[in-house]
Structure 1
Amino acid sequence: MSSKVNPPFRAEHLGSLKRPQYLLEKRNALDDKKCTQEELAVVEDKAISEIVQMQREAGIKTITDGEFRRHMFFDGVFDNMHGMTYIPDVPMHMFMDYVPDVSAFKKLSFKNAASYICTGKMSRARPFYVPQFTALKALTDPTEHARLKITMCAPEWYHLRHGPHAYPKDVYADDDAYFADVAIAYQQEIQELYAAGCRHIQIDDPLLAYFCAESMIKGMEEEGVDHEALLDTYIRAYNECLKGRPADMAVGLHLCRGNFKDGRHFSEGGYDRIAIKLFQQINVDAYFLEYDTPRAGTFEPLKFLPKNKTVVLGLISSKLSALEDKEVLKQKVHDAAKVIAGGSEPRTFEEALNQICISPQCGFASHSEGNQVNEEDVKRKLTLVVETARELWADA
């Protein structure tokens, strides 16, 4: 495969998996102060051991903990930063209407919502994901440790949704100053993850896909926001966050258009608008892209994929229980390979095919309650991913 280091395996999944009911009930008990964090951890360990075994049985080589120790997929970074304050009732005017998920929630008549707001100079207060990684190591075999993957929150998560309210102007003079401190925290986390043995991280970022949505572009222009400049700011932030990462640590970037607890999506639009910057300016090794419905557009933007990067096509729905047709999936992979082969850096069809992997389009439970699929559906979907990959690639 073409990525420079430890690329994704042919058959991938996006990180979050369906939580068993007993785990959800125990987490609710913690919220109700009816059990301790230590008691919850015992139940989490049991559930993670079971989901790891399910990944093994399905044939998935990259192993995650299913994000079973989180409530939301983006937990972990800003709730562990000095200078970020949890506010349970942020006024609605501090959420930007042009952000697609914000707009959707406001239409549901939300009067206020909890969020983290920057109130002072930021720094990493404690590890973000290192404890989750070391706990997963303890529940897996040493032969699997190099294949463990940790998913991470996107660095611009709260910045986009809060716009001019993202930070105090007497603390940070501008966006680059804000992201300079965010980048230091990510750099520290990545180095510590690496020291703990982590060799594969995936940053989950639906916000970049929002830049493909005409609704957000139009809303930004109406508010006087330069969306091209803001996207450039976020690309610089990414590259600073990943600066100095070890050469043998693979980094993937996942884009989707929303995957709330009932499978709700928030935006539509192909990758065409951002393709060149996405593929050629962000210093990651692989792109995990939603491609299970027409709302993600065509494969045409893949013509800008460089020869040294991998694309993981999210062709299988994590929101619906119906199983996709394997032959249709294989044809879609071939169609994508043809686009890549005839792209801005021409290559053979075989070379292009070897830059592709397949996966579900998103996780099965970005929110702890998950989508309208059961645990058996998840196993069937992951097995389909593996079987399709084995028929497409000899090294799957």
Structure 2
Amino acid sequence: MTVQIQESTRITAPFRYDHVGSLLRTEPLKQAREDYKAGAITYEELKNVENAEIIDLIKKQKENGLIGVTDGEFRRSWWHFDFLGGLDGVDYYEKETGLSFHKMETRKEGVRVTGKIDFSAHPFLNHFRFVQEHAGDAVVKQTIPSPNMLLYRADISEDRYKDREKLLQDTIAAYQKAIQAFYDAGCRYLQLDDTAWSDLFSEEGHNKLRDKGLDPAEELLVMQRMINETIANKPEDLTVTMHICRGNYKSNYFSSGGYDYASKVIFGGLNVDGLFLEFDDERSGSFEPLKYVNRKDLKIVLGLLTSKYGELEDKEAIKTRVAEAAKYVPLEQLCLSPQCGFSSTEEGNILSEEEQWRKLRFVKEIAEEIWK
């Protein structure tokens, strides 16, 4: 994965300045998706627009200084449901209610388990190959929801999986196949996106688990197992990171709370190569949980700049916060990024495309001044 980059960047992913993955959908793409839903254009015509917009997006990412590029999740409606619904035994469907976010409800869509969970053919493999084909010398990052998202965000009836252990085993096996398939397609930088951990960050989240008959202390270990066993057989030259999120929908969130309750496991008990962490406001708590980082090869990507609005943060304040984090983790293990993607769903956050690119250039600018 070695690339020709400036001294202020990392040679291997995650990079000194990085981004989570999703980017604002362009106007031509939005229009094409609406036209397709209305039956005004064919799927092939929609795909042609997607292809053209992704090629242009890759170019813009490189022009704005990004080392790792993605397809912006331009072919997805949701950051997680599109992938999960493509697994064997899982269906995408319309629900009676949406997800509850702060001050709003999402679209009424979700996924449900209808059969044995497995991984065979999946459209995301070709999505990755397309980006790889057009990325040139840039590193392609593939983002997918973590296995915890299927376990905690899909509707799973007891009729399908009476034995929860079997559910865990099948999910892990499917993800192991998925990881190998992406690797075989050429992927060397894979990111697992995960909001399930946020259920452990507050008493409200604990109560949600208890309402489902689950014990937070036990689920902490289950989440750890799902990640570690999923990546246990990954190829040595595949970098796997995880992004821990508290929700991102139209510049809104669904949970709050620091990492404290789960900190020993997250920072000292996961075998990922890097962690993308939300630290953009007080909802994420302090840096103190970073004291449990016990590996010199674990990279911590500080999400100190928000993707929820376009206004730029105070540069010196960001530098000060990086210095504060460096009291717990050596500066050489730290990286910088926005706290989340700019468009976790196709609606996107409330900012303009130019504000998005300006924000990403700002991340690069700050990182180059810190890691000279």
Q: TM-score, normalised by structure 1?
A: 0.86
Does residue 296 of structure 2 align to residue 295 of structure 1?
Answer: no
In the aligned structure 1, how far is the partner of 2:90 from the partner of 2:157? 9
In the aligned structure 1, how far is the partner of 2:104 from the partner of 2:355? 30
Gaps (5+ residues) in structure 2? Answer: 1-6
Q: Which letter does structure 1 place at the counterpart of 2:156?
A: A
Deviations 1:361-393 (A, max 9, x none): 100000112011111001110000001111111
Does residue 182 of structure 2 align to residue 193 of structure 1?
Answer: yes
- Alpha-carbon offset, residue 5 of structure 1: 9.6
Structure 1 residues 202 and 208: alpha-carbon distance in aligned structure 2, compared to 1, 3 A threshold: same
Question: 2:134: which partner in 1?
Answer: 139
In the aligned structure 2, how far is the partner of 1:155 from the partner of 1:227? 17
Structure 1 residues 108 and 357: alpha-carbon distance in aligned structure 2, compared to 1, 3 A threshold: closer
In the aligned structure 2, how far is the partner of 1:109 from the partner of 1:188? 34
Moved more, 231-240 or 331-340: 231-240
User: Among residues 71, 77, 92, which one is paired with 1:65 in the alignment?
Assistant: 71
Q: Which letter does structure 2 place at the counterpart of 1:138?
A: E
In the aligned structure 2, how far is the partner of 1:315 from the partner of 1:108? 24
Moved more, 121-130 or 149-158: 121-130
CA contact (8 A) 2:69 2:135 kept: no
- Alpha-carbon offset, residue 225 of structure 1: 2.4
CA contact (8 A) 1:80 1:125 kept: no
- Alpha-carbon offset, residue 128 of structure 1: 5.2
Does residue 30 of structure 2 align to residue 30 of structure 1?
Answer: no
Q: Where is the helix percentage greater, Structure 1 or Structure 2?
A: 1
Does residue 326 of structure 2 align to residue 320 of structure 1?
Answer: no
- Alpha-carbon offset, residue 108 of structure 1: 5.8
Superposed CA RMSD:
2.3
Does residue 117 of structure 2 align to residue 122 of structure 1?
Answer: yes
Q: Which letter does structure 1 place at the counterpart of 2:346?
A: S
Structure 1 residues 35 and 61: alpha-carbon distance in aligned structure 2, compared to 1, 3 A threshold: same
Question: 2:157: which partner in 1?
Answer: 167
Q: Which letter does structure 1 place at the counterpart of 2:331?
A: L
Identity %: 36
Superposition pairs for residues 236-385 of structure 1, below 5 Å? 236-260=225-249, 262-306=250-294, 307-340=296-329, 352-385=330-363
- Alpha-carbon offset, residue 310 of structure 1: 0.6
CA contact (8 A) 1:5 1:247 kept: no
Structure 1 residues 109 and 19: alpha-carbon distance in aligned structure 2, compared to 1, 3 A threshold: closer
CA contact (8 A) 2:193 2:242 kept: yes
The 3-state SS of whatever aligns with 2:85 is helix
- Alpha-carbon offset, residue 168 of structure 1: 2.9
Structure 1 residues 245 and 158: alpha-carbon distance in aligned structure 2, compared to 1, 3 A threshold: closer
Gaps (5+ residues) in structure 1? Answer: 93-100, 341-351
Structure 1 residues 57 and 283: alpha-carbon distance in aligned structure 2, compared to 1, 3 A threshold: same
Does residue 22 of structure 2 align to residue 16 of structure 1?
Answer: yes
Question: 2:146: which partner in 1?
Answer: 154
- Alpha-carbon offset, residue 218 of structure 1: 3.0
The 3-state SS of whatever aligns with 2:179 is helix
